[in-house]
Chains A and B, each alone.
Chain A
Amino acid sequence: MSTNDTPRHDELVVTHAPEGVVDPGLPPHQPRLGDTDPKASKRSERIVAALFGLSVLGSIGVVVAYFAFPPGESVSSIQQSNMFLGLGLAFCFAGIGFGAVHWAKSIMNDHEKVEERHPQRSSDEDRAAAVEVLKEGAADSGIARRSALKGGLITALALLPLPVALPLIGNVGADWDVSKFRHTMWRRGTRLMTDPTYRPIRAADVTIGSVVHVIPEGLHHDELESDQSFMDEKAKAVVLLVRLDERDLKHTEGSYHGIVAFSKICTHVGCPVALYEQQTHHLLCPCHQSTFDVADGAKVVFGPAKRALPQLPITVDDEGYLIATDDFSEPIGPSFWERVK
């Protein structure tokens, strides 16, 4: 690379050490300011004393704050109590800690001491003796000879994980019916109810730009066998209802005069998607910023979600209340292992 034209930079030429790196040893000892200047030494002493004094003040402060600022009932009195107790504790601990370290660093002597590192390897005799002990034990047990005992031991070891694994797997739940992930409570004719106030929704009352949090009719504590099944069903059936100008909708399938209903469970990892922007028609998931376009079948326009939110097809009944015409056409929520498109 070097030619006669280019100037030679001696500082760039790397010369390799002939026999590895030589131990540079310890750097030269630098005296501290306090070692040569008695004034600085006195100052360090005063700083340490001041830090210990600060700790004393902190401890007294905690005792005073404990009586002067009881937590009381209001939020502001709790804040005050926490702040003064916390400040006092901080000073009483930090004062001792910083004082002790500063004492050790600036007043105690700073002579470097070297402790050689010893080799970890045992001596050859010790190693040979250890192997001998193991061999002797193996021969004494007769493991090569006693095949019945060997078989018994292996069987016992093989079964050992079972008592640990069984309760762990069993406690996951007795219900292994995965088919229920495919369906929700929505049926043909199920009325849409407001969540959590449980009122039926008249289509005419949903003005343009409205959003309504929706649960199916029948999802009510009085009509379900247990609180557990209420939570299980609600987790699958929640829906967000939006009305936009009919002309903005790209597909009117499953909608009713601009009213559309989509599953509120994000197809990414199942957070409730409910941040609706009425001007852009974007529906944002607050967990990972997946964004769905409500005007375009809740297609994903941004973020980690992979599928559009499943749509709940809706219409109205004779009295003008919104009802579902069917269950969701595909399983709601994040894709699971046996999903069939």
Chain B
Amino acid sequence: MCHAASGAGGALTQGKYAPSVLNTDPAAIYTAMATGPQSMPVFNDMTLTPEEKRDIIAFIDAQKEGAPGGLDLGQIGPVGEGMWAFIVGMGLLIACAVWIGAKSS
């Protein structure tokens, strides 16, 4: 959850953040889960069996391909990404409207 559903990372409290794990070495991910560096809690073999840890690493590996929909913001979700698409799209439409309405020089 901290690293977002796609592993792209996310914010924590007071300026701390969970880094992206998309370019992290699988062994390092395994070690991090077992030891809990910095803010990260520990996921020992009772919480996540070695098999489950391997599944998580395989899932992260599958995320590296990216999204078929095109550019994303760490796949934070349709609302956040849609808002930026809306802001940029609206900006372009307003710019077009201003250009159409302006007198030619």
Residues of B within 8 A of A33 (CB): 105
Q: How far is the CB of B1 from chain A (nearest CB, A)?
A: 5
Of the candidates A205, A278, A291, the one whose C-beta lies within 8 Å of that of B36 is A278
Q: Is the interface of A mostly helix, strand, loop or mixed?
A: mixed
Instruction: Give the residues in chain B near A197, CB-CB below 8 Å.
Output: 49, 52
Cβ < 8 Å to B, chain A residues 72-105: 74-76, 78-79, 82-83, 86, 101, 105
Chain B residues with CB under 8 Å of A205's CB are 44, 46
Q: Is the CB–CB distance between B13 and A207 below 8 Å? A: no
Nearest CB of B to A9, in Å: 35
Q: Smallest Cβ distance from B85 to chain A, in angstroms?
A: 13
4 cross-chain pairs, A with B, having the tightest CB-CB distances, nearest first = A205-B46, A78-B68, A277-B39, A75-B65
Q: Give the contact stretch, choosing among A14-22, A59-67, A280-288, A309-317.
A: A280-288
Chain B: minimal CB distance from A78 (Å): 4
Assess whether B2 is interfacial by the CB under 8 Å rule.
Answer: yes
Report the separation of the CA atoms of residues A242 and B105 in the bound assembly, to the nearest whole angstrom.
69
Interface membership of A275, Cβ < 8 A: yes
* Cβ-closest chain B residue relative to A274: B1
Interface of chain A residues 266 through 323 with chain B (CB within 8 A): 272, 274-280, 282, 284, 286, 289, 291, 302
5 contacts between A and B (CB under 8 A): A33-B105, A79-B68, A82-B70, A242-B41, A302-B13
Whether a CB of chain B sits under 8 angstroms from the CB of A185 is no
- Chain A residues near B12 (CB-CB < 8 A): 275, 277, 282, 284
Residue A56 at the B interface, CB < 8 A? Answer: no
Does A141 sit at the interface, judged by CB under 8 A? Answer: no
Let me know if B100 and A282 touch, CB within 8 A. no
